[in-house]
Amino acid sequence: MAFLDNSGDIILDAVLTDLGRKRLAAGRFNIYKFALGDEEINYELWKSTDNRGSAFYDLEILQTPILEAFTSDQSLMKSRLISFSRNDLLYLPILKINNTAADSGNHIPVDTTTNEFAVIADTTTQNVGGHAANLTVPDGYLLGVPGADTANQKTKYIAIDQGVDSTETGRTTVTPMDPDLLESAFIVKCDNRLLRIATAAGANGVLQQRTPQYIDDDYCASYYFVQGQVGEAIRPSPQEPNAGEHRKRSDLAPGSTDSEKITLANQEEIFQGSLGRTLQIAPTVRSELSTSDSLFEELGETDATDITYRGAKIDSHYKINTTITVQGLTTGYSIDIPIKIIKGIDFATL
């Protein structure tokens, strides 16, 4: 790995991914589609005050060293360039993890102390070795074994909301999102050695395991979720028909000017501007993580930090850190969700 020096001529560095080399060797390599990205560009380096003239405004950006090309297609291209035919766009929506109580507690907010989600790998850890004193699961924790605790975990999921993260446009949470900016599909990527992706079918539905559409040679599994797909992975925006109760303020009429209701709506949403659609996903662990410690020993580590969980204590545990990547196909925006898979070793009462 190295940096390319762009201080002189602009350099084009291209390599084939492992899959590309495989297809080239088989005589089936053909470029019919490509994407552009600006992952390493810092637009704050644009200097419109440079007294040498406009030709120098972007000079520092053009001369920024960039990483040489990777053979892994998962290392870059997280910020893809897109084109819109409209010339009146003053904003674009983004994605955020919903950490509010806006959907009646069915989703799990992130653990604010670690800024990550913890996925419990087996029922022994979920019951804290038999010491669990209550059913209350702290924020940021998900049971990664489907069906093991249906009374407490059957509708728990991570909610990724789409919305406009600005109030400068004059838009509020009751201003409808432009229809052509609504995400109609998402790609969710995770390490197939560790995780599976499930969805919660409706407000009272059990978790439904999904099948990845593609697994690459780096064990990265890609799941495609489309609006209207069985399982209701993508929920409509509050201002769309049949929005349901996935957000408490979905009863506010589009264009409402009731300042008291708008203030309340703003308190219950992760965004302050127009609201888009919501993706609901639940990561579950591979059965090997529940039944064996080998992957924890190979890919993870042992942590002796005490964890207070369900009225008891996990004294020491295995953990593996990984991420889930979510990308909207309409805007190309993506986020990485930090995941920590936990399997308890020693347990105790408080």
202-224 pLDDT per residue, tens: 545 567 889 999 898 789 999 99
Mean pLDDT is highest, among 41-50, 84-93, 205-214, 265-274, for 41-50
- Comparing CA positions, the residue from 234, 247, 249 lying closest to residue 174 is 249
- Look at the alpha carbons of 266, 270, 274, 279 in this order and tell me if their dihedral is positive or negative: negative
The DSSP symbol for 111 reads B
DSSP string over 197-212? EEEE-STTPPEEE---
Contact at 8 Å (CB) between 121 and 144? yes
97 forms beta bridges with: 160
Residue 196 has pLDDT above 70, yes or no: yes
pLDDT bucket at 268, cuts 50 / 70 / 90: low
Q: What are the pLDDT digits (tens) for 117-163?
A: 999 999 999 999 999 888 778 888 988 886 655 455 455 789 899 99
Q: Three-state DSSP class for 161?
A: strand
Q: Which two tokens stand for residue 156?
A: 């728990």
Contact at 8 Å (CB) between 210 and 234? no
The DSSP symbol for 246 reads S
pLDDT bucket at 187, cuts 50 / 70 / 90: very high
Question: Chain-wide mean pLDDT for the chain?
Answer: 81
Contact at 8 Å (CB) between 150 and 135? no
- Position 244 scores a pLDDT of 52
pLDDT bucket at 165, cuts 50 / 70 / 90: confident
Contact at 8 Å (CB) between 188 and 281? yes
Q: Which two tokens stand for residue 226?
A: 């489309």
The domain locations on the chain are 1-81, 94-349
- Position 255 scores a pLDDT of 55
Residue 18 has pLDDT above 70, yes or no: yes
Burial class (CB in 10 A: 0-12, 13-18, 19+), 48: exposed
- Position 60 scores a pLDDT of 86
Q: What are the pLDDT digits (tens) for 285-330?
A: 999 999 999 999 999 999 999 999 999 999 999 999 999 999 998 8
Contact at 8 Å (CB) between 116 and 110? yes
Q: Which two tokens stand for residue 241?
A: 């028909």
Higher pLDDT, 240 or 5: 240
Rounded to an integer, the average pLDDT of 222-243 is 78
Residue carrying structure tokens 């805007």: 331
| Residue 16: other Cβ atoms inside 10 A | 13
Q: What are the pLDDT digits (tens) for 41-82?
A: 888 899 999 899 998 898 888 887 777 777 666 566 667 777
Determine the Cα–Cα distance for residues 41 and 211; give it in Å rounded to an integer: 35
- Position 225 scores a pLDDT of 93
